[in-house]
Amino acid sequence: MTFYNFPQNFWWGSAASGPQTEGRTDGDGKGDNIWDYWYQQAPEKFFNQVGPGRTSDVYQQFKSDVQLMKQTGHNSFRTSIQWSRLFPQGTGAINQQAVDFYNVYIDELIANGIEPFMNLYHFDMPLALQAKGGWRNRETVDAYSHYAETCFKLFGDRVKKWFTHNEPIVPVEGGYLYQFHYPAEVNLAHAVQVGYHETLASALAIQKYHALNLDGQIGIILNLTPSYPRDATNPADVKAARIADAFFNRSFLDPAVKGEFPADLVAILKDLAILPTYQPTDLALIKANTVDLLGINYYQPRRVKAKETPIDHTNGPMPDDFFDNYDMPGKKVNPYRGWEIYARGIYDILTNVRENYGNLPCFISENGMGVEGEERYRNPAGQIEDDYRIEFVQDHLKYVYQALQEGSNCLGYHMWTCMDNWSWTNAYKNRYGLIAIDLDHDCQRTIKKSGYWFKQVADQNGFEA
């Protein structure tokens, strides 16, 4: 048996988001965002037709939830401010009820020894701004910059860890390439403009934060999905993996950390004549406002091979024109998500950040395992015995430990998620929490076996295995 001992003051905790947990109550003043609207228009797209109004009710139960966080070993916790709660129209009048809620929520966390990490954008575009084009519209960048500055001024005296975006590639992929987020378009030119404006908005927020001279750090949360070639000795496979990495990882990682877009991606977009519209001063602003801290979300790898299938020209150019996904034989799979389980990937990401991105301060901001039908693992005492989740986390933490031993500047590990939460069109299909939610009984909470295990890990600052 080996004891995996983590650095002093390591961040143990979990991540969630406002739109996935808060819910809505009559008179709370929240405006509609794109998820509220999409659910109103097409409830059949959502698993069991459960929409964003029926989340885990954190808006009303947060005080008892903070106590559950203490019981599951949290010394830190990331959530997000809902843009459409603070500014119901995205701009204009502020919702004082939202200010009051976030103030009390932040204070409650701090009073219980849990440091709040606050993210500003988690896929929840205010509907009024989406009606004008959302991230495609330069006006949204200005509105976001004002929103971010408002948050810093309201809460920055207590919140010392800020993040501009969670997984900014996802609104690009989901909304404008693969149709799993609203507005569910398939248009690479629109996707490129959206991604560019998200990057610009992030840089502007960083500029605003540092101008206020607040005593904290600001970063970004990226879902870094390492791209592995089918055959590392085959130049065509290696090139395909490199292009996939440019589209889905380096597109945001490079400007966030280095202040520059990847040259190979820019060359591809230039050849396709779909470079984004931008202003002459933008690139200098992006260069001058890089992140202090990088959050890394890791769930699965991407396996890539050289393009073998015919290119589908139905919707114009797509990233998939340059590579094919490779279904690797014998891989370990989570059957409920269809995702490969590859714990070493977390080590490879941390090594890449150390070797190629200046070893800037970073942390694992999400890592977890979604399972459908967890109720079948509930024991007679009412606890869900999720040993598979404990094994999953332990296997990944061993690789985090290895990266630390080799000099990685990794400061913490956050699970996705604290308690089972609503997850976009999947709703509550797959459960990820350390704490179970019973939707049919007033969202009653029950700590799972993994929650008690996580408390032991945090208390000991490590584990034996």
The pLDDT tens digits for 293-341 are: 999 999 999 999 999 999 999 999 999 999 999 999 999 999 998 999 9
CA angle 32, 83, 224 (to 5 degrees): 110
Decide: 55 and 25 in contact? Cβ < 8 Å: no
What are the E-state strand segments in 330-451?
A: 333-334, 339-340, 362-366, 371-372, 410-416, 430-431, 435-438, 444-447
CA dihedral over 391, 392, 393, 396, signed as positive or negative: positive
Of 366, 372, 391, 406, which one is the catalytic site residue?
A: 366
Residue 22 annotated as catalytic: no
The pLDDT tens digits for 389-404 are: 999 999 999 999 999 9
The pLDDT tens digits for 13-41 are: 999 999 999 999 999 999 999 999 999 99
| 20 backbone φψ class: left, alpha, beta (φ>0; ψ -120 to 50) | alpha
| 358 backbone φψ class: left, alpha, beta (φ>0; ψ -120 to 50) | left
User: Is the predicted pLDDT of residue 440 greater than 90, yes or no?
Assistant: no
Of all residues in the chain, the percent with pLDDT exceeding 70 is 100
**H or E segment at 147?**
helix 138-155
Quick one: average pLDDT of 337-362? Answer: 97
Question: Which fold, 3-464?
Answer: TIM Barrel (3.20.20)
**pLDDT band at 136; cut points 50, 70, 90:** very high
Q: How far apart are CA 321 and CA 350, in angstroms?
A: 29
Helix (H, G, I), strand (E, B) or coil at 11: strand
Residue 171 tokens, joined: 């609104």
pTM, two decimal places: 0.97
The pLDDT tens digits for 239-259 are: 999 999 999 999 999 999 999
Q: How far apart are CA 341 and CA 367, in angstroms?
A: 11
Determine how β-strand 3-5 pairs with β-strand 462-464. Answer: antiparallel
